[in-house]
Amino acid sequence: MARGKGFDVTRQPGFTTVALLCFVMLYLPIVLLVVFSFNDSTSVAEWGGFSLRWYQSALENERVQEATIRSVIIATAASILATGAAVGAALATTRTRPWRGQTVVFAIVNQPLMVPEIVTAVALLIFFAMIKVATGYTGLWYLIIAHTAFCIPFAFLPIRARLQGMDLTLEQAAADLYATPWQAFRRVTLPQLWPGILAGAMLAFVISLDDVVITEFVKSAGQDTLPTYMLGQLRRVVTPEINAISTALLAVSVLLVMAFFFLSRSRK
């Protein structure tokens, strides 16, 4: 008796049409944004010829320069701190014997992925507001800490996946040759783990660089990052300069995500 075929959504009538329609609706606005970033007109809806004037305008805009520098500083610091914490968490959950509460720790590390970002933002706002009142400090470290906490799971997942895919034979051989745990990690584990660390750091950098919700809630006056600056401009007046900034930000994000993809691929 012939065995019935299982359900396959790709074989359903109209699947290709629906899939193509979804891709068009998803990517067509992005394509239009990129195209109109080269628009010579001041209108974001009427084409006035090809021009780079809005890229030049964005480069010469002091507020854009300040917001960009601030975004890069925050994203760099957050990605470094988040990656360091993620490496420790990944080692604790993959290179040790199973211990009580390991599942709870794994859930806590990945909490920002499970809880709506607005909830995390409100919680951080309340927590940091209490500290600001008590200390009077209103510097960038609040944003760096907030971004670090949010980016840890994004760095943790590729690093943990890399550790799980690594052969333990070399580490066991190093231990048999009387290497200390630190020596085994530095000379054996770390060189193999570097692709995962770099991939996690780049992913954390992109997430921090693009974040709006947490930044909008936590930042103090005069601490606009590039995404929050763009949000503020959209509330006032929309010009193709916003399209130019968005296109540049999109290009950076795409390049980093592509690098993350190539680094996170398994290597034999």
Residue 265: band (very low, low, confident or very high) from pLDDT cuts 50, 70, 90 = low
Written as six digits, the tokens of 52 are 């780079």
Mean pLDDT of the residues in the chain? 84
Residue type, 243: N
Above 90 in pLDDT, residue 145? yes
Tell me if 236 is assigned to some domain: yes
Residue 183 pLDDT? 83
Q: Lowest mean pLDDT: which of 100-109, 135-144, 227-236?
A: 100-109
Residue 84 pLDDT? 93
Residue 268 pLDDT? 44
CATH of the domain at 189: 1.10.3720.10
Residue 5 pLDDT? 62
pLDDT average, residue stretch 42-70? 85
Tell me if 44 is assigned to some domain: no
Cβ(205)–Cβ(76) below 8 Å: yes
- Angle at CA 156, nearest 5°, toward 207 and 228? 15
Tell me if 12 is assigned to some domain: no
Residue 264 pLDDT? 61
> What's this model's pTM, rounded to 2 decimal places?
0.81
Tell me if 55 is assigned to some domain: no
Domain count, the chain: 1
Domain that holds residue 235: 66-264
Tell me if 38 is assigned to some domain: no
Place of tokens 């993959």: 94
Tell me if 70 is assigned to some domain: yes
Tell me if 255 is assigned to some domain: yes
Q: How does pLDDT run across 173-203, given as a tens digit for each residue?
A: 887 787 887 888 888 888 888 888 888 898 8
More confident residue, 30 or 2: 30
Above 90 in pLDDT, residue 146? yes
3-state secondary structure at position 49: coil
CA distance linking residue 10 with residue 86, whole number of Å: 37
Tell me if 2 is assigned to some domain: no
